[in-house]
Amino acid sequence: MTEDPDTLPTHEVLHPDSIAIFTTTYYPEWYPGKLQDHREGNVDKIRGDLAIQTVMAARQKGHQLVIIDGGSSADFCQMLTDQGITPSPERERGMSASRRQGMSEATNLQGAEILCWVEPEKLSFVTGCLPIAAQPIAQGEADIVIPQRDEAAFGTYPDYQVVYEQRANRAWNKLLRIAGLRSDKDNDLDAWFGPRVLRNAPEVVECFLGKYEVRPPEEIGEISETSARRYVKPELWPNSTFLPIITALHKGLRVVGQQVPYRHPAEQTQSEQDSPAFIEKRKLQYFDILVSTIHYIHLLQSNPRTILR
C-alpha cells in the first residue's frame, strides 16, 4: 500500500524546498487558448499544457525548479514568464545534454538536498508522488530512487507503450543481473518510467554527468560503426537516464525502487494511442537503450568489443 504524503509521520516529512526538480521543455508548436481540432501542433499543445500545469504544481508545493528550454514557442515561454518562471536556454542540442545542464543548475541551488528529474508532462508525479519517492533518501536508506508504477498506473497508458515498456524493463533488469549489478532476489527497477530522484552529493551527481559516444570506425570497423549509429544514440535517452544507474550500481551506491501512485494524463494517452510516430519512437527507444546498456557494461568491464567510449 502506498503512503499518502499528507499522512507521513512528522519526522519523515521533507521540507518542500529541499527538493529541486529539473526538467526540459521543447514545444515549438504550442499555442495559447483552447485545443483546436485538426490543427498542426496539437501534440505540442497537449504536452505543453501539461508541462505548464506541472510547473505550476511544483511551484505551489514549494519545490525549487530548474527548466531548460530547447526552443519552445514564444507564447509558451511567455506563459512561463507570466508565472514568474524564467527557463534557461538550452546550451547544447540533445536530450541528454539538456538534462545534464538542468542537473548542473539544480545541484547549485541553495538548500537543495534532493534532486529530481521528471518529464514535464508527468503532472501526477509532482502532485502526488514526489514526497513518497524521496523518502528512502531522506531516511538515509538510498542514494538514488527509481520510482515504480503500480498496476493501475499501467492501465492509464497507451496499450502499445505498456507492452514495450514492460518488455524493456524485464530485458534491462536481466542485463543488470547477468553483469552482476543486481541479484536474483532484487526486485526489478521500473527504469522505463522515467523519473529519477537522487541525493545531491558529488559522488551521486557525477554518475549522471557522463557523456558517452560511439567509437569512430577506425576503432571498431566501418560495418560495426554503421550498424551502431543506426541503433545506438547515447545522447538521446541512455546517457542521462539509464547509464547513470549502471554507473551508480558499479560504484556500489544504493539504488532502490519505490512504488508511487502515478497516473498518466488521459489527454496525453488519447493523443498518442494510435500514433505511428510515437509507436516508432518506442521502438527506437527500446533498441537504443538496451544496446547502449550492453555496450556500456562492456566498457565498464574493459571488454574490447564495446562500441562506446
Cell of 271: 493523443
Q: What are phi and psi of 247, to 5 degrees?
A: -60, -45
CA dihedral 32, 33, 38, 43 (to 10 degrees): 50
Cell of 26: 521543447
Mean pLDDT of the chain: 91
Cell of 56: 505550476
3-state secondary structure of 257: strand
Higher pLDDT, 6 or 219: 219
* Residue carrying C-alpha cell 488521459: 266
Cell of 157: 497508458
pLDDT band, residue 275 (cuts 50/70/90) = confident
Q: Give pLDDT, residue 215.
A: 86
Mean pLDDT of 280-285: 85
**To the nearest whole percent, how much of the chain has pLDDT over 70?**
92
- In this predicted structure, the answer to whether residue 216 has a pLDDT above a threshold of 90 is no
Q: Give pLDDT, residue 221.
A: 73
Q: Are 12 and 49 in contact (CB under 8 A)?
A: no
Q: Give pLDDT, residue 223.
A: 54
Cell of 149: 508504477
181: amino acid identity, one letter: L
Please tell me the distance from the alpha carbon of residue 67 to that of residue 24, in angstroms, as a whole number.
Answer: 5
Tell me which CATH code domain 16-301 carries. Answer: 3.90.550.10
The residue extents of the domains of the chain are 16-301
Q: Give pLDDT, residue 11.
A: 35
Please tell me the distance from the alpha carbon of residue 58 to that of residue 22, in angstroms, as a whole number.
Answer: 10
Question: What's the pTM?
Answer: 0.91
* Residue carrying C-alpha cell 540533445: 94
Question: What string of DSSP letters covers 212-230?
Answer: --BPPHHHH-HHHHHHHHH
Q: Give pLDDT, residue 1.
A: 40
According to DSSP, residue 308 is labeled B
45-49, 146-150, 171-175, 304-308: least confidently modelled range: 304-308
Mean pLDDT of 190-214: 97
**To the nearest whole percent, how much of the chain has pLDDT over 90?**
77
pLDDT band, residue 73 (cuts 50/70/90) = very high
Q: Where are the alpha helices (DSSP H) in the chain?
A: 42-60, 74-82, 95-107, 123-128, 130-138, 151-154, 159-178, 202-205, 217-220, 222-231, 243-251, 266-272, 276-300
